[in-house]
Amino acid sequence: MASAARPRGPLIWVHGASVGEIVSVLPLIERLAGRGYGILLTSGTLTSSRIAARRAHPSVIHQFMPLDAHRFVGRFLDHWKPDLVLLAESELWPNLMSELGRRNTPLVLVNGRLSRRSAERWAHLPKSARALLSRVDLCLAQSRDDAARFKALGAPRVEVVGNLKFDAPAPPADAKSLDRMSVECGNRPIFLAASTHPGEDEIVLAAHQRLAQEIPDLLTIIAPRHPERGTDVRLLAEAAHLAAVQRSEGYLPDGGTEIYVADTIGELGLFYRLAPVVFMGGSLVRHGGQNPIEPAKLGAVALHGPHVWNFGSIYARLDERHGAALVQNDGDIAQCVSALLFDGHLHAQTAATARQVVDQLGGALDRTLSAIEPYLLHIRLAR
């Protein structure tokens, strides 16, 4: 249940389910750790634990989230004795929340998000939803729509503070790896498909085949959302008679490589810096889309499919301002990539608009810290 001792002094427990949530709370953790608070960071996936190990403040202790059963939650809390618990986005665990309430440990939902689909499911269980959300001392919602859904389901205190993802720094890239990849790629045009899901790789490969007719030296990089799918993606490319290699096997792209499978962890920052145009995965299949903020901060133009409800308000703002492009199929992808690669002015204008939209939506970090300040003050006084 614990692989480290509890540090002395006040301890704040921050939980993010997977990579996206962990990345979004890292700036918040940095600020809290800088003020002398001990931080326990939990997550639920191996990938997120690796990201935390690489990018979190050195004083942070990472553990995996306990199973949501009374015996495990109780033992976990007995060991760590957190003074404040911050759950990211939509992490609602009935047994954990019940036990925190019994121990009078304050619970705040940060970067709160509740999709329309999730809200509709909870609406069929109104008593359960109200009982669960009543245990949240403060809900800090990403948007007005999220706030309205939380309130409708019974959250007693809700504030709109914005999305922490806008304040997260651009994902890093190892300088040596970036230099080496830049040398290997030379002046080749590059297109990136980031965080793809099953069913999308075939579409990206078909788009590459269309593009190769007018851009024969095009290098398409496919970074599957789950790196363990790397071999499957390579085999799909080879079945389409495309020359493909995998980064996880130590390969770099050479002049004959058409598809480069980036099946590694924590390197999207590297590939966003290489590719001027990025298709954001999870959006042509019904997954809900991936975060477009990171490529926007690095000057890459994002293409996305229609299924982007996880980041709906962000994509809506980007599309409205022509800072991103909606695609439905391989033909749309090929058309957009071609236009953006050949027209430097169009690319620069679109990328600048996307960056402007992202910058204008920042500020959630300061608002979040301001909202939780009363809890931080209570911790200091209690100690």
One of 3.40.50.11720, 1.20.140.10, 3.40.640.10, 3.30.1490.190 is the CATH number of 11-162+363-382, namely: 3.40.50.11720
Whole-structure pTM value: 0.87
DSSP 8-state symbol, 200: T
246 forms beta bridges with 261
- Return d(Cα 172, Cα 188) in angstroms, integer: 23
Q: What is the mean pLDDT of residues 179-187?
A: 97
- The tens digit of pLDDT for each residue in 220-242 reads 999 999 999 999 999 999 999 99
Ranges of H-type helices in 157-263: 175-185, 201-212, 230-239
pLDDT of residue 203 exceeding 90, the answer is yes
- pLDDT computed for residue 116 by the predictor: 87
- pLDDT computed for residue 1 by the predictor: 63
- Select from 35, 39, 14, 10 the least CA-distant residue to 24: 14
Q: What is the mean pLDDT of residues 76-105?
A: 96
CATH architecture under which domain 175-360 falls: 3-Layer(aba) Sandwich (3.40)
Query: Where are the CATH 3.40.50.2000 domain residues in the chain?
Result: 175-360
Express as a percent the part of the chain with pLDDT over 90: 90
- Return d(Cα 226, Cα 267) in angstroms, integer: 13
Query: Residue 279 — pLDDT band, cuts 50, 70, 90?
Result: very high
pLDDT of residue 136 exceeding 70, the answer is yes
- pLDDT computed for residue 42 by the predictor: 96
- The distance in angstroms from the start CA to the end CA of the chain is 26
Contact partners, residue 274, CB within 8 Å, separation at least 6: 178, 181, 182, 185, 190, 192, 221
- The tens digit of pLDDT for each residue in 328-366 reads 999 999 999 999 999 999 999 999 999 999 999 999 999
Residue where the block lists tokens 């806008």: 166
DSSP 8-state symbol, 131: H
pLDDT of residue 254 exceeding 70, the answer is yes
Active-site residues, by number, are 21
Residue scoring higher pLDDT (293 or 92): 293
- pLDDT computed for residue 306 by the predictor: 98
To the nearest 10 degrees (0 to 180), the angle between helices 230-239 and 201-212 is 40
- pLDDT computed for residue 200 by the predictor: 99
- pLDDT computed for residue 122 by the predictor: 92
277 forms beta bridges with 191, 301
Mapping DSSP onto H, E and C, the string for 293-317 reads HHHHHCCCEEEECCCCHHHHHHHHH
- The tens digit of pLDDT for each residue in 154-175 reads 999 999 999 999 999 999 999 9
- The tens digit of pLDDT for each residue in 31-76 reads 999 999 999 999 998 888 988 988 999 999 999 999 999 999 999 9
Residue scoring higher pLDDT (312 or 300): 300
Query: Where are the CATH 3.40.50.11720 domain residues in the chain?
Result: 11-162+363-382
Contact partners, residue 181, CB within 8 Å, separation at least 6: 252, 253, 270, 274
